[in-house]
Structure 1
Amino acid sequence: MRFQSSIVALVALAGFSFAQDVSVADVKAAFDTARIPTSLNLAFEPTALLTVSFPQPNGTPVVLTTGARIPRASTAGPPQYKVNGTTTSGPFVIAMVDLDAPTPQSPTWSPIRHYLGGGWSANNAADPGVLTTTTAAVTAWFQPSPSGTDPHRYVFLLFNQSPEFVTQRQVTAQTSIVSWNLATFAQQVALGSPIAGTFMLVSAQ
């Protein structure tokens, strides 16, 4: 019940307003309130800020504030990423998972892997921090698709890329996206703890 109350509080506060995060401490607090580290069994001590934005048909992207509620229609993506506060320009690994499938009250299918890819780097002098990659994704972007439930927590995490990730075969395009243990995978391929992250709440409407 405590988790359900936390999600209700987050939804009430989030509304549909979007802006870029400016505080690592606030991001961590939002993750803790939503019990994301507990759900992932993964430590989250961010040192940088990850900004996720979704291109829109009208040309004005939706920029995600951590914990904001996003209409599903705005999440077709694939999203764009920007990082601020890192000591290197990459490469990085990005993972996105749904922690609440099929429902937040009974997340027996979670985590569901909605994206996993590496080779992300911030090397554009004209737009510092913008992440780009020429590396094919391990799991291509899969739009959030909750169905008739309370909002799901969709979590984006940024890791420093390890040599082991480049050569890993634990996860391929053929590997099931359901019940994927991100914490175990991160340990297997020496990703360590995420250096940045954000999340959004998405429901069917």
Structure 2
Amino acid sequence: MLRLFNLWAFLLPGLLVKASPPDLGDSSLAKVRQKFEDFNIPANVHLTFDPVVLFELTFPEPGAAPIHVMAGEQLERNATAGPPQFALRSDHRAATGHGPFVIVAVDPDAPTPQAPTVSQIRHFLGGGFQFGAGHKGMRTLVNDTPAITEFRQPTPPAGSDPHRYVFLLFKEPSGFSQQTLVNSSTSIAHFNISAFADATGLGNPLGGTFIRVGPQEA
């Protein structure tokens, strides 16, 4: 679901007027693609990024409204505890097929953007995602199998500039569930998403988004 705002109501003399601020969610593939280029993500992770679907990342917030992420948005670390939820624009299903899908999240900036000597850090890797319920023009992505790498909250070290956390959606190839390159005990450091995608037949991503997160303030 895209970021939505409640209608604002205000009174003019003798007239009740309802107005809605503009939708702030990602609504353009071209703008998402440009955001990735602006932040040098395709060059840094060595993948071609030409999305065919709007991929939505949502962080549930206890006692508050969930955060529906816009590509490139900077979040406070305490807003990213997750686990996140994923969805696709319903009208883009023809471009993706019926699934299953693989979702991968990486940090190409560890330990700092200026010296990413242990990047990429793998923050999530899961397969078997299928379309779930539809709501307000979006279809959720759900699976019923454990992730290969469960979600790890962004945790940039003290003193670092904000890191980019990149979430990518791939079509799952036949036999992916039998891949042995990465398992639940494999180190999350020094991951290479482009090499992994080549070796497992993932190809280039169908869609994606990213957030920026700085160190937790004391």
Q: TM-score, normalised by structure 1?
A: 0.88
Q: What letter corresponds to residue 177 of structure 2 in structure 1? A: V
- Residue type of the alignment partner of 2:155: S
1:66 paired to 2:71: yes
The whole-number CA distance in structure 2 between the counterparts of 1:163 and 1:31 is 28
Question: CA 1:163–1:59 in structure 2 vs 1: closer, same or farther (change >3 Å)?
Answer: same
- Gaps spanning 5+ residues in structure 2: where? 1-22
Give the superposition deviation at 1:125. Answer: 4.9
Q: Partners of 1:113 and 1:190 in 2: how far apart?
A: 18
Dislocated runs of 4+, deviation >6 Å = none
> Displacement, 1:162?
0.7
User: SS state of the match for residue 42, structure 2?
Assistant: helix
Q: How does 1:46-61 map to 2 (within 5 A)?
A: 46-61=51-66
State the match for 1:39 in structure 2. Answer: 44
1:126: how far off?
6.0
| 1:143 equivalenced with 2:148 (yes/no) | no
Q: Distance in 1 between matches of 2:103 and 2:24?
A: 21
Q: Is residue 30 from structure 1 mapped to residue 41 from structure 2 by the alignment?
A: no
RMSD of equivalent CA atoms: 1.4
Superposed CA deviations along residues 125-164 of structure 1, whole A, max 9, x for unmatched, are: 5675111110210000100000121000000000001113
Counterpart residue number, 1:10: none
The alignment status of 1:103 with 2:112, answered yes or no, reads yes
Determine whether 1:86 maps to 2:93.
yes
Bigger strand fraction: 2
Q: Does the 8 A contact of 2:134 with 2:140 survive in 1? A: no
Work out the CA distance in 2 between the residues paired with 1:24 and 1:39: 20
Task: List per-residue Cα deviations over 1:54-108 (Å, max 9, x = no partner).
Answer: 0001241011000000100000000001112132231110000011000000001
For the residue of structure 2 that corresponds to 1:124, the secondary structure is: strand
2:190 match: secondary structure: coil
Q: Unaligned stretches of 5+ in structure 1?
A: 1-17
Q: Which residue of 2 aligns with 1:196?
A: 207
Comparing 146-155 with 86-95, which one deviates more in the overlay? 86-95
Distance 2:50 2:134 in 1: 28
**Aligned AA (1:138):** I
Q: Which has the larger radius of gyration?
A: 2
Identity percentage of aligned residues = 43
Distance of aligned partners of 1:119 and 1:19 in 2 relative to their CA distance in 1, 3 Å threshold: farther
Distance change >3 Å, CA 123–CA 89, structure 1 → 2 = farther
Alignment check: 8 A CA contact 1:19 1:63 kept: no
Number of the residue aligned with 1:157: 168
Considering fraction of residues, name the structure with more helix: 1
Question: How far apart, in 1, do the equivalents of 2:53 and 2:98 lie?
Answer: 12
